[in-house]
Amino acid sequence: MIWLIGLVLTLQAIFYWILKPAIHFSMPIFEVRGFGLLFLLLGAWLLSGRVESQRPR
């Protein structure tokens, strides 16, 4: 039983070490801190569209 607890703790530590960059990158998204930048990028994308007269015919 003790080796099972040790194995589970070891696996959790390994997965945390492997996934730490993904956790660090996605944390602002889950904490709703990244929405300002997201809206800024979305607005820039919408405003940078082609004008009707620039489209090829």
Domain ranges of the chain: 22-46
Whether the per-residue pLDDT at 7 is higher than 90: the answer is yes
- CA 49 – CA 12 distance, rounded (Å): 47
Residues 14-56 pLDDT 10s: 999 999 998 888 887 777 776 787 888 898 988 887 666 666 6
Contacts of residue 34, defined as CB under 8 A and 6 or more positions apart, other chains included, come to 28
Q: pTM higher than 0.75 for the full model?
A: no
